[in-house]
Amino acid sequence: MSDNHQPIGVFDSGVGGLTVVKELRRLLPQEKIVYFGDTARVPYGTKSRETIIKFSLENILFLLRQEAKIIVIACNTSSSLALPAIKQHFRIPIIGVISPGAKESVYATKNKRVGVIGTRATVSSRAYEEEIHKLDRTIKVIGQSCPLFVPLVEEGWLKGEIVLGIVGNYLKPLKDAGIDTLILGCTHYPLLREAITRAMGKKVILIDSAKQLAMEVKGILEQDGLLNKNRQRQISNLVCYVTDKSGPFKQLGERFLGERLDHIYEVQNV
């Protein structure tokens, strides 16, 4: 049985899911959060569905051992390919980023043309399209994979003519298609918001599902009586585990989160 003092468990293939943690901490500052970044096996977006499901199951089991009361899949690739196959096998609530982003895009679009950018695995899964069409089948969904966006973000290349050229090249088909709403289908992509806005124009609404996801997590915890009633926030409320500490997780994570990361631990066996 879960209780309200147990942590929220969040996992991603790497560091990008900390953009989701940032929204959870903003909306639910009193909650403890355990973050798991599978940095030894990143990226997930180039791997097979079977491998992604295997990794996702292992990540969930790790977070359950940390006594998580709800699990958030902050990885778009895992949310699109693994979540539908595994969520029925657990009693604990498990929520991904696809559904919240899809819902928000349906509410936002006026011309019923929605773009989705993400990894090749996320875009080819058509998971966002399926979720959007559950709500409105008249909406046209156009997907575009942007494999260079993640390395740009992780190298800190967020501005400049080279970045604008790459972003503009990837997004040209979506601009030509006349979309008025664009889902940022990868947790890294919000850091490229400025370049994406310059490429698409200010009238195109950018959907970052992290905010809507945080609201859904709060709703589930309220419904199940699992909200932490303690109103005080402490930095120690966030603990991060990674499968490979050799990469720049701390540096990148602090950039994504907007605060210091003081509790990072490496785990050898998931």
Give the active site residues.
75, 186
> How far, in Å, CA of 110 to CA of 179, rounded?
9
Closest C-alpha among 256, 12, 241 to residue 156: 256
Cβ atoms of 211 and 107 closer than 8 Å: no
Return the bridge partners of 206, or none: 182
Q: How far apart are CA 126 and CA 258, in angstroms?
A: 32
- Residues 184 and 213 sit within 8 Å (Cβ to Cβ): no
DSSP per residue over 144-185, as a string? EE-TTHHHHHHTT--SSHHHHHHHHHHHHHHHHTT-SEEEEE
Give one DSSP letter per residue of 226-247, joined into a string: ---------GGGEEEEES--SS
Cβ neighbours for 144, distance < 8 A, ≥ 6 positions apart: 115, 116, 117, 123, 170, 171, 173, 174
**Cα(109)–Cα(113) distance, rounded to whole angstroms?**
7
For 115, list phi and psi in degrees, rounded to 5.
-100, 150
Q: What is the largest CA-CA distance in the chain?
A: 53
